[in-house]
Chains A and B, each alone.
Chain A
């Protein structure tokens, strides 16, 4: 990403050089005994660190308005502290005042600009979070993400479920869990290859997301089994959502990549309502309900006892 910002970096370094030249031109280098090494270490450290921050931020961000504020702010801080450090080495006569201006003027301006940048970054992040909400709620943990569907994994599901159950007990709100399994998924893998199978899972994940509410959480349990956490949802509502999901999948015409033919799928869904049980127990009940749904092929959905 640094290549995007090379002109900005170049400009900052040129200004720093000009400052150095201006100081050398107007003042004299101090004698060894006049130099306060502790000050140099402190002020030089600040200027070096602010340069490191600047590079790290430039390296991780695309070009844009927020990035520009970061650059201006950090550049101000860097130049002010750089001038501060130069003052420790070079004796500038009292008649020259530009060093005062750089030192005391740039620092507050830089801090203000940086603050403004951080404020907008925060707004930008809220926006992104909103976008990602149904995929990964409350916090982002990329380590427990499934690489095929980019959904949370079973481990993530269990953590979220524990948190949701805690809330469910405290607030006396209903909570439902759906487990959704693609019928005859193994045949897709055998017939069209595992790449097609993976692509189907990815597209189904997108399809399911479109049919869920903002507060719901979709995870990939394992293989072709998806888990959906429905907060504040009672039995009737959960069954309705399950039916909607089953209908959506049934009408979804998956196109194979080689022939472009349409392949249709049905799903079986197990529904379990949270009682006073643990996440593991709730999952076990949903799994049982799913098995019942699979046995009775004429019905897609089965509610756990």
Chain B
């Protein structure tokens, strides 16, 4: 089992992504002491250039910024500045991506450097590419902010590097907010709220349109450097992200808390404690994986309820339907529009 980072692992370079938010707030006249209250670090520490903060400190920073900064557009403005960003080699590699496909692969590969709190999960089918947003460390209340921010970041990056508007369709699990105008202006009109997943979808034909300003040789050098950086950090992903990947990988075999704890080489009590530290519990994570999979299989692959039921180890289709209703609020038959 490869190592992972947790809520309190010091793994985010403060002068990279968090500094973007801090600079924006300070420029808008927010006092840096007020902004960093409760985060456990000071503005002067960041300038040293090697301060690593933990996800929970970053959450606190976001929460403070949201409280102190007026306006509904903070997450969107931040999103515009986030990618390719100022994260050294990873940003350089991203800005030299030759097309959308490679940009997404790099974003996935360097997610710990570029976007440590909210990770992309890519999924391809015959016609579309799906980018699902995955909570890495239990964002809870800050999750809508993070999805707004990353959706804007990816839209803005692809707009900038491809020099054209790409027809992204954006799905959000939260309700349509009062400030819908921010979504319309920054993300376009193809929006779905109250969705079962947070995701972005685009037709596959846009994946391979070449981006003309990319420099292939610079990209190779930057990638090598960023890879070395990743190896030096030694993390495979966030804790919840690892749990999700593990459950998905082993979905065919019946599983339990004890089994997963054994796979992660820890006691059941420790796993339970770690999950609860990340504002979650085993059943929630297991349900999340099965929900996403069931949605995908039914909606995109056209599987029948019986097929999905047997795949996910339900006794019969009725049991699946009941569980599905519990996960999503609707039965498989009723679900169509809200699913990416």
Contacts and interface: CB of A to CB of B under 8 A. Distances in A.
A291 B185 CA distance: 11
B159 A186 contact: yes
Contact of A287 (B156, B160, B184): B184
A190 B160 contact: yes
A146 B77 CA distance: 14
A147 B71 contact: yes
Contacts of B15: none
Given A155-B178, A225-B181, A189 B80 contact: yes
B81 interface: yes
Interface of B, helix, strand, loop or mixed by DSSP: helix
Interface string B35-72: 00000000000000000000000000000000000111
Interface of A, helix, strand, loop or mixed by DSSP: helix
Interface string A193-221: 01100000000000000000000000001
Interface string A270-294: 0000000000000000011001001
Contacts of A253: none
Contacts of B71: 146-147
B80 A186 contact: yes
Contact of B189 (A147, A225, A287): A287
A190 B156 CA distance: 10
A225 B160 contact: no
Contacts of A189: 80
Nearest to A288: B189
Given A155-B178, A189-B80, A194-B77, A222 B160 contact: no
A154 B189 contact: no
Contacts of B73: 222-223
B182 A194 contact: no
Size category of the binding interface on chain B: 20 to 34
Contacts of A147: 28, 70-71
A186 B70 CA distance: 22
Given A186-B80, A194-B77, A224 B185 contact: yes
Contacts of A287: 184, 189
Interface string A172-202: 0000000001000011011000110000000
A222 B186 CA distance: 8
Nearest to B24: A194
B185 A225 contact: yes
Contacts of A146: 71
Size category of the binding interface on chain A: 20 to 34
B76 interface: yes
A146 B182 CA distance: 13
A154 B184 CA distance: 12
B89 to A, nearest CB: 20
Nearest to B71: A147
Given A223-B185, A224-B185, A287-B184, A154 B179 contact: yes
Contacts of B27: 195
Contact of B181 (A190, A222, A288): A222
Interface in A222-274: 222-225
Max count, chain B CB within 10 A of own CB: residue among A154, A155, A187, A288? A154
B249 to A, nearest CB: 39
A222 B73 CA distance: 8
A291 B188 CA distance: 9
B186 to A, nearest CB: 6
Contacts of B77: 194
Given A186-B80, A189-B80, A291 B189 contact: yes
A155 B73 CA distance: 13
Contacts of A225: 181, 184-185
A223 B186 contact: yes
B185 A221 contact: yes
Contacts of B189: 287-288, 291
A154 B180 CA distance: 9
A194 B23 CA distance: 12
Contacts of B76: 223
Contacts of A294: 165
Contacts of A288: 189
Interface of B: 27-28, 70-73, 76-77, 80-81, 156, 159-160, 165, 178-179, 181-182, 184-186, 189
Given A222-B185, A223-B76, 12 more contacts: A181-B185, A186-B160, A189-B80, A221-B181, A222-B181, A222-B182, A222-B184, A224-B185, A225-B184, A225-B185, A291-B189, A294-B165
6 nearest A-B pairs in the assembled complex, by CB-CB distance: A223-B185, A222-B181, A154-B181, A222-B185, A222-B182, A225-B185
15 contacts: A154-B181, A155-B178, A181-B185, A189-B80, A190-B160, A195-B27, A221-B185, A222-B73, A222-B181, A223-B73, A223-B76, A223-B185, A225-B181, A287-B189, A291-B189
